[in-house]
Chains A and B, each alone.
Chain A
């Protein structure tokens, strides 16, 4: 079946630190991969996505590369800000279907 595994949280970093949140997936075929972010008290919003192998999604300084050989989609940012504090969800949508499968989420806290 389809599944997504994210690194355990919570993650606490200082402002301007480098961020990596690991995400690996299990799926048949060629799923699309997503990172969603949830700010406190809000719904999820798309951060970035990649729809085929070796694609790099990027937005707001965040990046993730679709690695089919390692079935991974790790989220990175070179210099985090306090405003990046949120819960981050990795998700996949199976090939040919719009049914998101989510990881368990990683809570990120950035201290000034």
Chain B
């Protein structure tokens, strides 16, 4: 049972380049989420998705694009990377949208924008 995986685990890129971070889950969970983790801020929600082809903005969506053509995949794209997007990115999934449900997190992608 692979669970939830992210790739790449580490990425270094340059300002202005496009970068795509991948997230894949094997549980057939309906909901998927992208967070960024920065010192002093905990984790902040970037985008989330309720199902294939249904996405919505979170707290910090500017500069990011998501898509969800298949239930199991939820890629996050930085269309033109900036230094302020240097961060650790976590993907998560949950079975349900109830506030009581648990989110399961991937191992994270550490992105450095030079």
Cβ of A43 and Cβ of B99 under 8 Å apart?
no
Q: Chain B residues near A4: list those with CB within 8 A.
A: 42
Cβ of B99 and Cβ of A102 under 8 Å apart?
no
Residues 91-112 (chain A) with a chain B CB within 8 angstroms: 91, 93-100, 102-105
Residues 40-63 (chain B) with a chain A CB within 8 angstroms: 40-45, 48, 58
Cross-interface CB contact of A89 among B43, B96, B102, cutoff 8 Å: B43
Contacts A31-B99, A45-B105: A98 and B31 contacting too (C-beta < 8 A)? yes
Grouping DSSP codes into helix (H, G, I), strand (E, B) and loop, the A interface class, with mixed when no group exceeds half, is loop
Q: Which of B40, B44, B103 has the most CB of A within 10 A?
A: B103
Cβ of A93 and Cβ of B42 under 8 Å apart?
no
Q: Chain B residues near A46: list those with CB within 8 A.
A: 102-104
Query: Is A32 among interface residues, defined by CB-CB distance under 8 A?
Result: yes
Residues of A within 8 A of B (CB): 4, 31-32, 34, 36, 41-46, 49, 51, 89, 91, 93-100, 102-105
Using C-beta atoms within 8 Å of the partner chain, give the interface range for chain B. Answer: 20 to 34
Nearest CB on A from B47, distance (A): 11
Cβ of A99 and Cβ of B58 under 8 Å apart?
yes
Cβ of B96 and Cβ of A98 under 8 Å apart?
yes
Cβ of A98 and Cβ of B90 under 8 Å apart?
no
Q: Which of A44, A96, A98 has the most CB of B within 10 A?
A: A98
Q: Chain A residues near B108: list those with CB within 8 A.
A: 42-43
Nearest CB on B from A86, distance (A): 14
- Please measure, in the bound complex, the distance between the C-alpha atom of A93 and the C-alpha atom of B94, giving whole angstroms: 12
Cβ of B103 and Cβ of A100 under 8 Å apart?
yes
Shortest 4 CB-CB contacts between residues of A and residues of B? A102-B42, A43-B105, A93-B99, A51-B100
The 9 listed contacts between A and B (C-beta, < 8 Å) are A31-B99, A36-B105, A43-B105, A44-B43, A45-B104, A45-B105, A91-B42, A98-B101, A100-B35
Cβ of B43 and Cβ of A43 under 8 Å apart?
no
Starting from the known contacts A43-B107, A102-B42, 17 additional A-B residue pairs (CB-CB under 8 Å) come to A36-B105, A42-B108, A43-B105, A49-B100, A51-B99, A89-B42, A89-B43, A93-B100, A98-B98, A98-B99, A98-B101, A98-B103, A99-B48, A100-B103, A104-B41, A104-B42, A105-B42
